[in-house]
């Protein structure tokens, strides 16, 4: 049997696997991506991509390409069965640099991600190839794959990541189980190639007789989702005549060309374990969410960003085991919170009786008389914040509520003229950021200390109302927070703050202490980061053969 060697093997080339491969590829890690299908998906699937996922697309250099395929920045309108609009969700903030809600087509997204991999000679993609089994050893994982020519070959990798979906064979192989519920409600999805619907927002009709949702898409496409009842057989509800009747009853799109009709049942399940020593689960292999919050695919992309840099750290250095073992500890609580949100939204969308529907309408109408609560819902502040309460963090801090949170991404002005998003100034490793009126002074003092080899960028950020005290910005980037976003993030405190930010954008450590304590702060960071380096992983680190065989198995 022919053997090939890589640093990381990924099984499953959906959005999660493709994103992870791009993240690893740009760090120089050698990756093999194995997918049983002959290409990326061609049929509609997920339709909503959020601001956090677009920030990840930015991190892999594909944000502009992905956004060019999206309908950006739309909201949701909620209607009664009689057509009364009782709630409007229209978020306008761009806390992480991008619109909060955006419509996309999964086939286009996957093509963009696949094209992104062509930038990396260290990433190989095998379509039409099937993972069969693996054996985990102390220092590697040995994976059997059947190529598209029917021949079996072995992949030896330092790590294996299962992004192989809801029916993950890798999840089964590590003895993990999906725990939770499969709900009895079935929904009919109808994807249209064109629409007459003028409303650009999602329209949610909370009708106890038949709840319905219709969502916009890029390029004038539209999706309809109808709840089904127990007595309705799948063959009957997918009949073209039945579908056209539903469309005629719920808008102007009767007779428009149909791309897909499909019945699905939703799940709310989370795997009881996400990893072994060298095998990890991500995306639908690790968790399944109801569709009502549009967070299923987005949760998988969060997994990829969280796990990606940790794999690089583990490959490139003698990083402490708690770096990579923090993956599930950090991600699982947020996944569970988004699932709970989806279930709550489902209860609003699916009233069982007219009385339930009436109570929902009254609740939202009363919110108009309580502006803070109205704003909370209208701006989607109910969405779980990207926040880790425990994990690979330095929790001891005099900046309460900062460590473990995703750093906002303000518009930054550099050289008092050019503006760009903050992440464009960060490196690929950890970033040292001073924010406040005295940011220049603090960053210079901090740079006198060793924070660890993985801190590869230093930034001094001034509040909106202040100009630099000097043009001397040697060794760091000087910027101004155009909209004062970071001041709000730091609870409006005027004292200059010093942050250490992880590669995935989460705050690792923070302080507002006096200058004399900077040395201790740096020492604490260095103790945790001293073994983490973001250098290209050595090629062929555990094996003898790489690219030569792949032409015969479908590279």
Phi-psi region of 401 (alpha: psi -120 to 50; beta: other; left: phi over 0): left
Residues 449-495 have pLDDT tens digits of 999 999 999 999 999 999 888 766 689 999 999 999 999 999 877 78
Backbone angles phi, psi at 12, to 5 degrees: 115, 115
Residue 103 has pLDDT above 80, yes or no: yes
Backbone angles phi, psi at 96, to 5 degrees: -110, 15
Query: What does the alpha-carbon distance between residue 407 and residue 387 come to, in Å, rounded to a whole number?
Result: 10
Residue 544 has pLDDT above 70, yes or no: no
Query: What does the alpha-carbon distance between residue 261 and residue 33 come to, in Å, rounded to a whole number?
Result: 30
pLDDT for residue 397: 86
From the list 4, 20, 3, the residue with the least C-alpha distance to 301 is 20
| 467 and 394 Cβ atoms separated by less than 8 Å | no
pLDDT for residue 546: 39
| 188 and 262 Cβ atoms separated by less than 8 Å | yes
Residue 88 has pLDDT above 90, yes or no: yes
Of 368 and 544, the structure prediction assigns the larger pLDDT to 368
Residues 398-434 have pLDDT tens digits of 888 999 999 999 999 998 889 999 999 999 999 999 9
539 pLDDT tier (thresholds 50, 70, 90):
very low
Q: Which domains does the chain have, with CATH numbers?
A: 3-73+100-179+269-339 (3.50.50.60), 411-529 (3.40.30.10)
* Over residues 23-28, mean pLDDT: 96
Copy the structure tokens of residue 318: 């003698």
N- to C-terminal Cα separation, the chain: 18
Helix (H, G, I), strand (E, B) or coil at 447: coil
Residue 220 has pLDDT above 80, yes or no: yes
Copy the structure tokens of residue 222: 């539209």
**What is the pTM for the complete model shown?**
0.94
| 373 and 283 Cβ atoms separated by less than 8 Å | no
Copy the structure tokens of residue 393: 């963090």
- Taking residue 481's Cβ as centre, other Cβ atoms within 10 Å add up to 25
Residues 234-243 have pLDDT tens digits of 999 999 999 9
Copy the structure tokens of residue 338: 């988004």
Residues 329-361 have pLDDT tens digits of 999 999 999 999 999 999 999 999 999 999 999
| 410 and 479 Cβ atoms separated by less than 8 Å | no
Query: What does the alpha-carbon distance between residue 428 and residue 512 come to, in Å, rounded to a whole number?
Result: 25
Distant-in-sequence, close-in-space partners of 167: CB < 8 Å, separation ≥ 6: none
DSSP letter (8 states) at residue 406: B
pLDDT for residue 545: 36
pLDDT for residue 536: 55
| 502 and 452 Cβ atoms separated by less than 8 Å | no
Residues 316-333 have pLDDT tens digits of 877 667 899 999 999 999
Which helix (H) or strand (E) segment is 17 a member of?
Answer: helix 15-26
pLDDT for residue 122: 96
Query: What does the alpha-carbon distance between residue 519 and residue 525 come to, in Å, rounded to a whole number?
Result: 10
The H-assigned helical ranges of 60-209 are: 63-67, 106-117, 169-173
Where is average pLDDT lowest: 89-93, 272-276, 373-377, 531-535? 531-535
| 159 and 140 Cβ atoms separated by less than 8 Å | no
Residue 394 has pLDDT above 70, yes or no: yes
Residue 269, CA atoms < 13 Å, CB-side half-sphere: 21
| 412 and 461 Cβ atoms separated by less than 8 Å | yes
Residue 27 has pLDDT above 90, yes or no: yes
Average pLDDT, the chain: 93
Query: What does the alpha-carbon distance between residue 384 and residue 336 come to, in Å, rounded to a whole number?
Result: 10
206 pLDDT tier (thresholds 50, 70, 90):
very high
537 pLDDT tier (thresholds 50, 70, 90):
very low
pLDDT for residue 468: 87
Residue 49 has pLDDT above 90, yes or no: yes
Strand 76-79 with 85-89, pairing: antiparallel
């Amino acid at each position: 049997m022919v053997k090939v060697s890589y640093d990381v093997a990924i099984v499953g080339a959906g959005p999660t696997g493709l994103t992870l491969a791009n993240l690893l590829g740009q760090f120089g890690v050698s990756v093999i991506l194995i997918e049983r299908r002959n290409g990326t998906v061609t049929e509609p699937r997920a339709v909503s991509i959020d601001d956090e996922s677009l920030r990840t697309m930015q991190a892999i250099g594909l944000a502009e390409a992905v956004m060019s395929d999206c309908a950006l920045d739309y909201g949701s309108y909620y209607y009664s069965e009689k057509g009364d609009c009782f709630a409007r969700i229209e978020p306008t903030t761009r806390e992480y640099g991008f619109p909060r809600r955006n419509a996309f087509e999964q086939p286009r997204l996957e093509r963009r991600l696949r094209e992104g991999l062509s930038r990396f000679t260290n990433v190989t993609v095998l379509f039409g190839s099937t993972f069969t089994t693996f054996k985990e050893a102390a220092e590697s994982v040995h994976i059997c794959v059947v190529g598209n020519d029917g021949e079996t070959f072995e992949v030896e990798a330092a790590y294996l990541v299962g992004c192989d979906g809801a029916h993950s064979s890798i999840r089964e192989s590590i003895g993990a189980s999906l725990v939770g519920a499969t709900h009895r409600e079935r929904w009919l999805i109808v994807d249209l190639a064109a629409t007459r619907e003028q409303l650009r927002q999602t329209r949610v009709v909370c009708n106890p007789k038949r709840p319905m949702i219709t969502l916009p898409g890029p390029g004038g496409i539209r999706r309809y989702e109808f709840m089904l009842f127990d007595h309705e057989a799948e063959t009957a509800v997918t009949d073209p005549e039945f579908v056209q009747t539903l469309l005629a009853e719920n808008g102007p799109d009767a007779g428009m060309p149909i791309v897909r009709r499909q019945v699905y049942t939703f799940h709310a399940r989370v795997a009881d374990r996400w990893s072994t020593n060298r095998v990890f689960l991500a995306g639908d292999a690790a968790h399944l969410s109801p569709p009502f919050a549009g967070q299923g695919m987005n949760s998988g992309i969060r997994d990829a960003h969280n796990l990606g840099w940790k794999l690089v750290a583990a490959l490139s250095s003698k990083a402490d085991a708690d770096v990579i073992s923090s993956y599930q500890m950090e991600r699982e609580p947020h996944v569970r919170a988004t699932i709970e949100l989806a279930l709550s939204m489902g209860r609003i969308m699916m009233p069982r009786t007219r009385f339930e529907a009436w109570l929902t309408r009254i609740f939202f109408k009363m919110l108009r008389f309580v502006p803070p609560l109205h704003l909370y819902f209208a701006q989607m502040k109910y969405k779980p914040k990207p926040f880790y309460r425990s994990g690979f963090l330095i929790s001891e801090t005099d900046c309460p509520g900062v460590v473990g949170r995703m750093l906002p991404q303000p518009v930054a002005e550099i050289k008092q003229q050019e503006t760009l998003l903050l992440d464009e100034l960060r490196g690929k490793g950890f970033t040292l950021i001073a924010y406040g009126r005295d940011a220049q002074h603090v960053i210079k003092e901090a740079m006198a200390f060793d924070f660890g080899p993985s801190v590869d960028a230093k930034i001094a950020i001034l509040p909106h109302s202040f100009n630099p005290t000097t043009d001397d910005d040697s060794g760091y980037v000087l910027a101004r927070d155009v909209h004062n976003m970071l001041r709000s993030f730091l609870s409006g405190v005027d004292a200059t703050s010093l942050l250490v930010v992880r590669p995935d954008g989460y705050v690792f450590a923070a302080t507002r202490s006096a200058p004399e304590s900077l040395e201790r702060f740096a020492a604490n960071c260095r103790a945790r980061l001293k073994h983490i380096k973001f250098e290209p992983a050595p090629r062929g680190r555990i094996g003898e053969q790489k690219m030569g065989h792949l032409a015969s198995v479908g590279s």
